[in-house]
Amino acid sequence: MSLKDVAAEAGVGFGTASRTLSDSGYVAEGTRRRVLEAADRLGYRPNRLAAGLRSNRSRLIALLVPDYTNEFYARGSAAIARCLRDLGYQLIIATSSNGTEERDAIESLAEYHVDGIVRVPVDPDLDARVSCPVVELNRRSNLPRVPAVLCDDRSGFRALTEALLERGHRRIAMIVGEQNFSTSLERAAGYREAIAGTDVPSRVLFGSFDSRWGEQATREIFSDEESITAIIAASPRIASGAVAACVKMGVRVPDDLAFASYDDPEWFDFWGSGIRSFVPPLEEMARRAVEVLLDRLESPDSLPETIVLPGRTHEGGSIGVGLA
């Protein structure tokens, strides 16, 4: 059951049927209706593989994320999928936990001739040059001339740190992820900006964006002599590990330790009096990323733009009311 059948059923030529169903070019209103009815009667469904092959437009968009077990990416993916579906695209998803996997994923995606790629870079130095437009989401790679949609993490973590300073904290540690991720650097930069000019020593622990590191780093912090009174976790995963460590070590939040984090998973609200955190506008970021991508499909050589969106602060009792 193909276009040819529809054309026959409608008593029109092959091309007219095509033009009608993909509405391009002129078709007389009457003919148009006849074709549409015929298609309907036969239950015609276009073959996107064939259409894509011929037109070089697969109507497939790829999403390349480190791990969509991570609720953060899951929510982002869902938002992207929603936008895309409304525009008649399908989402094809690939995950990559390291540079090698990422390269493989990109090549595999290229084989399907995806129209565009939304990428959360895993290896920021990977040369992901492909023939379709790419937009980076959340993090930024080191590639020049790639559009990106980010959150203003720097300001967010500056604010988080300032709130801690206001409450009298002078020993504040920050646990971040991979040293080569823009998100680690930006978030740490916000922290450093806040303590610059004060006598508060900088203590940033680089590791990786997962709970194992959150737990380990927290233990490290408490095994040191210097008595840290506040910890900032750069991601919910890190926060999860840090919280686990506190529970196991009998450290109470906020009594023994002030705590702040990033994003807003549901469990933040259930943990004690809630966790203070900086929350990125994930859905909007996703929407804008799709927007940028489709823009570039229309005009492939428009200037690559970097969009940085502001986030908001989620209140929560975890930073306490201030030091005695």
Partner DNA sequence: ATGAAAGCGCTAACAC
Partner DNA sequence: GTGTTAGCGCTTTCAT
Residues that bind a copy of itself (CB under 8 A): 45-50, 52-53, 58, 60, 67-69, 71, 74-75, 77-78, 81-82, 85, 90-95, 105, 107-113, 211, 240, 243-244, 247, 265-267, 269-271
Q: How far apart are CA 105 and CA 216, in angstroms?
A: 31
**Contact partner, 244, from a copy of itself, DNA, none, Cβ < 5-8 Å per class:** a copy of itself
**Contact partner, 179, from a copy of itself, DNA, none, Cβ < 5-8 Å per class:** none
User: What are the residues whose beta carbons fall under 8 Å from the beta carbon of 324, sequence distance 6 or more?
Assistant: none
Q: Does 38 bind DNA (CB under 7 A)?
A: no
Q: How far apart are CA 279 and CA 266, in angstroms?
A: 12
Binding mask 39-58 toward DNA (x if CB under 7 A, else -) reads: -------xx--xx-xxx-x-
Q: Which of 19, 119, 158, 237 binds DNA (CB under 7 A)?
A: 19
Q: Does 247 bind DNA (CB under 7 A)?
A: no
> Total residues contacting DNA (rule CB under 7 A)?
29
**Contact partner, 36, from a copy of itself, DNA, none, Cβ < 5-8 Å per class:** none
**Contact partner, 58, from DNA, a copy of itself, none, Cβ < 5-8 Å per class:** a copy of itself
Question: ∠ CA 184-185-186 to the nearest 5 degrees?
Answer: 95
Q: Are 40 and 10 in contact (CB under 8 A)?
A: no
Q: Does 88 bind DNA (CB under 7 A)?
A: no
In the 3-class helix/strand/coil scheme, how is 221-284 assigned residue by residue?
HHHCCCCCCEEEECCHHHHHHHHHHHHHHCCCCCCCCEEEEECCCCHHHHCCCCCEEEECCHHH
* Beta strand pairing call for 276-279 and 312-314: antiparallel
Q: Are 37 and 10 in contact (CB under 8 A)?
A: yes
Q: Calculate the CA dihedral of residues 74, 231, 136, 307 and round it to 10 degrees.
A: 110
**Contact partner, 154, from DNA, a copy of itself, none, Cβ < 5-8 Å per class:** none
Minimal distance, residue 50 CB to DNA, in Å: 3
- Residue 55 or 142 having the CB closest to a copy of itself: 55
Q: How far apart are CA 160 and CA 278, in angstroms?
A: 7
Q: Does 8 bind DNA (CB under 7 A)?
A: no
Q: Which residue type occupies 308?
A: V
Binding mask 53-82 toward DNA (x if CB under 7 A, else -) reads: xxx-x-------------------------
Could you tell me what percentage of the chain is helix, strand and coil, using 3-state DSSP and rounding each to the nearest 5? 45, 15, 40
Provide the binding-site residues for DNA, judged by CB under 7 A: 2-4, 11-16, 18-19, 21-22, 24-28, 30-32, 46-47, 50-51, 53-55, 57
